Amino acid sequence: MIDRKRGFFDERQETMPPKNRAEYTRRLLTETVRFAYEKAPATRRKMDDAGVKPEDIRDVAYLAKIPFTRKADLKNIQKGEPPFGGLAAVPPRGMRRIYVSPGPTYDPEGREETHWRWEKPFVAAGFRPGDIVQNTFMYHFSPAGLMFDEALIRIGCTVIPAGVGNTEMQAQVMRDLRVTGYVGTPSFLMTILEKAKEMGVVRGDGLALQVALVTAEMLPESLRKRFREEFGVQVRQTYGTADVGSLAYECYEASGMHIPDEIVLELLDPATGKPVAPGEIGEVVVTLPSTLYPLVRFATGDLSIYSNEPCPCGRTSAKLLRIVGRVDQVTKVKGMFVHPEQVSRLEDKVRELSAIQLVISREGHDDRMTIRALLRPGTTPTDALKEKIAETARELMRLRGEVVFMQEAEWTDREKKIVDTRKWD
C-alpha cells in the first residue's frame, strides 16, 4: 500500500528548526537582492531611485525600503523596456522557454531543472513515483502544462499531457490507463468524474484515481468532501503564478498551504504596506531568488491570511490559510485571469457597444461568465450581434460567456468592469 500521507521532497530542508530557517531566509534574501541589483536593470533603478543599496537589506524587515513591482503593471513595464521590462538577468537567448499570458505579458523560464519548484507540492499532496498522472492544464503559451509536467517527471511519475477540454476522452483515458493522479482545476476534475460516472466508471469499478493537486480556482470544502466521499480521491490545493511559480501548497493535513523554502514571502496591508499579524488579511508580496528572473518585492495582487502555527506533518514553514480575493478588480474565471482592461478592449472592438460588464457567478462547481451588454442608441439587439460579442470576448479572454443585452435603467455597479458574485464555503 502506497503511503499518501507522510512524504517529503527534501525532508531536511522542509523541517529546518526555526533558528536555521531564519538564517537560511536571511542569507537567501541578501544574496537575491545583491544579484538582482547587479544583473536586473529595472531592479537597480528602483533601488537607486529609493536610495537603497544591497548592503542596506540585512533581513526581511529591511525590505520595506524597496518599492514594489506590481504584477498588474507588468504589461506596461514590459512595453516600456521589451521584452521583460528590465527585470530579467539574462537575454532571451539564454532562456529555456518564453511563455505568453493575456495582455500580453511574457514569462521567462530558466535552464535550471527546478525553475518553477512544484516538486514539493506534489509530494506533499501524496503523489509518489510510479503514479500515472493526467495533467489537464494548457501546454501552449501558458506555462502551466509544462511546469507541472516536468515536476511530476522529476519525482518519478508518468504524465499524460491531456490539456483542457474533451471531457469524454479525459474520462476514457482515466479509465483505460488506470490514472492514479490528476492535476488541474477542481471544477474540471469534477466534470471529468461526473462524465466517468455516466460511463459506468466509478470507484472500485474502473476508477483508479487516488490523488489530485488542484489550483487556479477556489476549492470549497464542500467540493473537497464530495471528491473524498463519493469518488475516494484525496484532493490538495496549491497556489502559484506564471511569474513566480510555486508560492504555497497543502500537505496531507490540509490545514493551510506551506510557504516554500526557496522564496521570501511577505504578507502586507494593502493600504499601509506594513506586515499584517497572523489571522489578518494581507497582500502576497514575493522576493524570488533566481539567476534568470530575480524579482524583488513582487506584489501579486492576491490577498491571503497566514499562520505560523506548527503543522503535525513536520514542516516548519509558515502557511497561507487560503486566498481570499484580489487587491484590484482582476479575477480568475475557470483558472484564467481576467483584467478590467480586457473588458475595455472588448468595448472598443465592437462598435455597437456603449458599455460592457462581466458578471462572474458559480453554478454547482463551475464558474459562469455573463457578459452584460449595453448597446449604443439606435442599435438593434440581434442574435448575430450576441455571437459577435461572445466570439470577440473569447478571443480577448480565452473564455466563453453568455451575452445578455441590458437597458440603461437596469445597469448597476456602473464603475465596475467585473462583478464577482461567487460565494465560497
159-199 pLDDT per residue, tens = 999 999 999 999 999 999 999 999 999 999 999 999 999 99
pLDDT in tens, 84-101: 999 999 999 999 999 998
Rounded average pLDDT over 411-425 = 79
Rounded average pLDDT over 290-298 = 97
In a domain, 76, yes or no: no
In a domain, 386, yes or no: yes
In a domain, 90, yes or no: no
Rounded average pLDDT over 252-279 = 95
Q: Reply yes or no on whether the pLDDT at 408 is more than 90.
A: no
In a domain, 353, yes or no: yes
Domain enclosing residue 367, as ranges = 333-420
In a domain, 236, yes or no: no
User: Which band of pLDDT confidence, cut at 50, 70 and 90, is reported for residue 425?
Assistant: low
In a domain, 367, yes or no: yes
In a domain, 41, yes or no: no
Could you tell me the three cell numbers for 315?
Answer: 514542516
For position 46, what pLDDT does the model report? 97
Rounded average pLDDT over 309-322 = 96
Rounded average pLDDT over 320-331 = 85
Q: What is the pTM assigned to this prediction?
A: 0.85
**Buried (b) or exposed (e) across 16-29, using 16+ Cβ within 10 A?**
beeeebeeebeebb
pLDDT in tens, 117-146: 999 999 999 999 999 999 999 999 999 999
pLDDT in tens, 145-157: 999 999 999 999 9
In a domain, 210, yes or no: no
**CATH of residue 342:** 3.30.300.30
For position 324, what pLDDT does the model report? 85
DSSP per-residue codes, 285-323: EEE---SS---SSEEEEEEEEEE----TTS--S-EEEEE
DSSP label at 411? -
Q: Measured at the alpha carbon of residue 404, what is the angle toward residues 398 and 408, in degrees to the nearest 5?
A: 125
Overall number of domains in the chain: 1
Q: Reply yes or no on whether the pLDDT at 412 is more than 80.
A: no
- Report the C-alpha gap between 413 and 418 in whole angstroms: 9
